[in-house]
Amino acid sequence: MSSHKNELYYCEICGAEIEVKKGGDGTLKCCDQAMEIKQP
């Protein structure tokens, strides 16, 4: 999976949210699971 600039991601377990500043390849993880993209 790749991430793109300005996308928002969140963790379903702890609720942490991140905004991508520089996109790239790979999977964003938190609490040992992949983070989900947050829809507006």
Residue ranges per domain, the chain?
2-37
> In the prediction, which pLDDT does 28 show?
94
CATH architecture of structural domain 2-37: Single Sheet (2.20)
Secondary structure, 3-state, 1-40: CEECCCCEEECCCCCCEEECCCCEECCCEECCEECEECCC
Question: 10-residue block means of pLDDT along the chain (40 residues)?
Answer: 91 96 94 92
Q: Do the beta carbons of residue 11 and residue 31 sit within 8 Å?
A: yes
- Tell me the whole-structure pTM to 2 decimals: 0.81
Question: Using an 8 Å Cβ cutoff, are 17 and 36 in contact?
Answer: no
